[in-house]
């Protein structure tokens, strides 16, 4: 692995998946594959992607560590720095990936905020793997297993004194990188989305604890919002499900309809924000989320 000293290298986190694919190799074994993609910048469309097939007999942290070294060298040659963080959503591979990442000084975060990776994997499952020799037609490695954990109330540190449902125009959201926000995580907006679509989300308010609440919320790795019954649920981390609030039946119908519309017509975009009050213009926290069907 080459030690980076250049100051012009692009810095970003990585998203990875190391798992078997719906392909049987010439030895009758499932094909294992490592996929790495950089976390897309809000407006910079340049992405680092890297893939490597792993022999079924070499699925271990030693092979994975060596593959990470190769990927870092390749990234460096393309103008990308070594990441300080990698995200992985597949719980069954967490231990092996962490062991390999620890050896090269990279922090592993278990998170479903791996939107770039999941979209790439979905694309490969639809158009790449079916063209490969040995393709089984059986999805040996689905993008995820349904999350069935019961939702529990948000930690006290992340509960606002009040909340409201909100929506932002796409044009407004495109300017999010120009806002003054203490804690945030923005994701790219595709050019193909209809500009007339409004993006739904929720706002959490806390006059005295807004900044601390935002810091805690960021640590939860928020992934997407959904409606279950008359409850708003926040899915976060690798498998966490947090109860944000209960809503009245009429409000539930409106929110559910908004979430469904953006899922169909706006790439599943959502948001969650933290601020001191509804009248306050500045934000202490703002996260763009995405509801991907295959989650």
For residue 295, name the pLDDT band (cuts at 50, 70, 90).
Answer: very low
Note whether 59 and 122 are same-domain residues: yes
Threshold 0.85, pTM exceeds:
yes
**Is the distance from CB of 179 to CB of 283 less than 8 angstroms?**
yes
The predicted pLDDT at position 126 comes to 92
Cα 136 to Cα 140: distance, rounded to the nearest angstrom = 9
Where residue 58 sits, what CATH number does that domain have? 3.30.420
What whole-number percentage of the chain has pLDDT above 70?
93
| 127 and 41 belong to one structural domain | yes
Please indicate, yes or no, whether residues 56 and 125 belong to a single structural domain of this protein.
Answer: yes
Q: What is the pLDDT of residues 151-183, one digit of tens each?
A: 999 888 888 899 999 999 999 999 999 999 999
Let me know whether 25 and 116 are in one domain.
yes
The DSSP result for 67-120, as a single string, is HHHHHHHHHHHTTBPPPSEEEE--GGGHHHHHHHHHHTT-EEEE-S--HHHHHH
Instruction: Report how far residue 234's alpha carbon sits from residue 154's, in angstroms, rounded to the nearest whole number.
Output: 9
Q: Which range of residues forms the domain containing residue 42?
A: 14-131
Mean pLDDT, residues 16-43: 94
Tell me, yes or no, whether 281 lies in a domain.
Answer: yes
Total domains in the chain come to: 2
């Amino acid at each position: 692995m080459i030690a980076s000293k250049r100051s012009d290298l692009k810095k970003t986190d990585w998203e990875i998946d190391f798992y078997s694919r719906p392909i049987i190799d010439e030895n009758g074994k499932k094909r294992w594959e490592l996929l790495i993609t950089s976390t897309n910048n809000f407006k910079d469309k340049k992405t680092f992607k890297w893939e490597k097939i792993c022999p079924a007999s070499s699925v271990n942290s030693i092979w994975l560590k060596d593959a990470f070294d190769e990927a870092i060298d390749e990234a460096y040659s393309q103008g990308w720095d070594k990441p300080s963080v990698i995200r992985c959503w597949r719980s069954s591979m967490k231990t092996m990936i962490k062991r390999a990442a620890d050896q090269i000084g990279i922090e592993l975060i278990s998170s479903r905020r791996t939107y770039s990776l999941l979209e790439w994997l979905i694309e490969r499952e639809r158009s790449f793997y079916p063209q490969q020799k040995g393709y089984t037609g059986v999805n040996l490695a689905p993008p995820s297993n349904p999350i069935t954990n019961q939702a529990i109330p948000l930690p006290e540190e992340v509960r606002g004194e009040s909340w409201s449902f909100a929506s932002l125009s796409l044009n407004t959201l495109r300017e999010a990188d120009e806002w003054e926000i203490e804690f945030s995580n923005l994701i790219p907006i595709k050019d193909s989305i209809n500009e007339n679509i409004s993006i739904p989300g929720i706002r959490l308010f806390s006059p005295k604890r807004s900044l601390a609440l935002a810091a805690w919320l960021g640590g939860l790795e928020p992934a997407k919002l959904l409606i279950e019954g008359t409850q708003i649920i926040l899915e976060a981390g690798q498998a966490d499900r947090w109860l944000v609030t209960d809503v009245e039946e009429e409000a539930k119908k409106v929110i559910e309809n908004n979430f469904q519309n953006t899922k169909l017509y706006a790439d599943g975009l959502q948001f969650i924000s933290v601020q001191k009050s509804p009248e306050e213009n500045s934000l202490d926290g703002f996260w763009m989320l995405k509801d991907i069907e295959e989650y």
